[in-house]
Amino acid sequence: GAVVSQHPSRVICKSGTSVKIECRSLDFQATTMFWYRQFPKQSLMLMATSNEGSKATYEQGVEKDKFLINHASLTLSTLTVTSAHPEDSSFYICSASGTSGDAETQYFGPGTRLLVL
Amino acid sequence: AQKVTQAQTEISVVEKEDVTLDCVYETRDTTYYLFWYKQPPSGELVFLIRRNSFDEQNEISGRYSWNFQKSTSSFNFTITASQVVDSAVYFCALSDYQGAQKLVFGQGTRLTINP
């Protein structure tokens, strides 16, 4: 139980385009989803927290208009990187917590590697 | 503010050796959660354990064991009889007991098990 998927696993795009990343909880309802960013050989940095049906709460320094987060259902959250630039290239990981047996634990997706050319 | 320190950036041992990964945390909360996650080369974080701050019992799961000591604010992780498949980056993390439950991660320890 507590499986989280992400799609796509890898994406390459041109500078200036927008990229959407999906995060799904497959076998439980995710009342809260989190989006992280991880640079090579570094730790995870929380970007935002989203609760189903409400606006995401962004961490300090994260641009809301650049990283659009939608959590429209209890099993799906999306992160859209708008007008992506090379500096947005990173590993993006989502996590979810909710109605699984251990509601206080975040379960992570496999991550999405974004490369902006 | 909450903070997690994993002082060991990289550890390399030979297979079958025991290895301990250190984790020291700081928090003003009296109740909180501590976690360990494993990140293999594939990138996905695998949940290993969650510990409540009011439960200081040590835990053993197969070759894995965890030592939680509130007196020293430490939550160390030991792998006995290490195997090559244990090679990964291991993260210790801390979250508050109630509220947003945001995770604060340590910098991670890259563990390499050599055959």
Query: Which residue in the set A93, A107, A111 is minimally distant from B47, CB to CB?
Result: A107
Residue A32 CB: number of other CB atoms within 10 A? 19
From residue A46, give the alpha-carbon distance in Å to each of A60, A62, A91, A103. Answer: 10, 9, 12, 19
List the 7-46 stretch of A: residues with Cβ below 8 A of B.
Answer: 32, 34, 41-44, 46
pLDDT at A94: 96
User: Is the separation of the CB atoms in B34 and B53 below 8 Å?
Assistant: yes
- Highest mean pLDDT: which of A22-31, A72-81, A95-104, B8-17? B8-17
Of the pLDDT bands very low, low, confident and very high (cuts 50, 70, 90), residue A105 is confident
Per-residue pLDDT tens for B13-63? 999 999 999 999 999 988 899 999 999 998 999 999 999 898 888 889 999
Identify the residue with better confidence: A115 or B98. Answer: A115
Question: How far, rounded to the nearest angstrom, does the alpha carbon of residue A27 sit from its chain's CA centroid?
Answer: 18
Q: Residue A98 pLDDT > 90, yes or no?
A: no
Helices (H) then strands (E): counts for chain B: 0, 12
Using the Cβ of A65 and the Cβ atoms of chain B, whether some distance falls under 8 Å is answered with no
- Tokens linked to A8: 């796509």
Instruction: Report residue A91: phi and psi, to 5°.
Output: -105, 120
Whole-number Å distance between alpha carbons of B28 and B70: 12
User: Is the separation of the CB atoms in B44 and A23 below 8 Å?
Assistant: no
Note the residue count of chain A: 117
- Tell which phi-psi region holds residue B81, choosing left (phi > 0), alpha (psi between -120 and 50) or beta: left
- Least Cα distance to A107 among A98, A99, A96 occurs for A96
From residue B14, give the alpha-carbon distance in Å to each of B32, B54, B68. Answer: 35, 36, 26
What's the whole-number average pLDDT of chain A? 91
Compute the average pLDDT of residues A23-48. 92
* Cross-chain residue pair B101–A106, CB shorter than 8 Å: yes
Per-residue pLDDT tens for B99-115? 557 899 999 999 999 99
Distance from CA of B98 to the nearest CA of A (A): 9
Using the Cβ of A93 and the Cβ atoms of chain B, whether some distance falls under 8 Å is answered with yes
Identify the residue with better confidence: A41 or A35. Answer: A35
pLDDT at A102: 65
Whole-number Å distance between alpha carbons of A8 and B105: 25
- Longest Cα–Cα distance of chain A, Å, equals 42
Per-residue pLDDT tens for A45-96? 999 999 888 889 999 999 999 999 998 888 999 999 999 999 999 999 999 9
Q: CB within 8 A of B100, min separation 6: which ones? A: A32, A49, A57
pLDDT at B100: 55
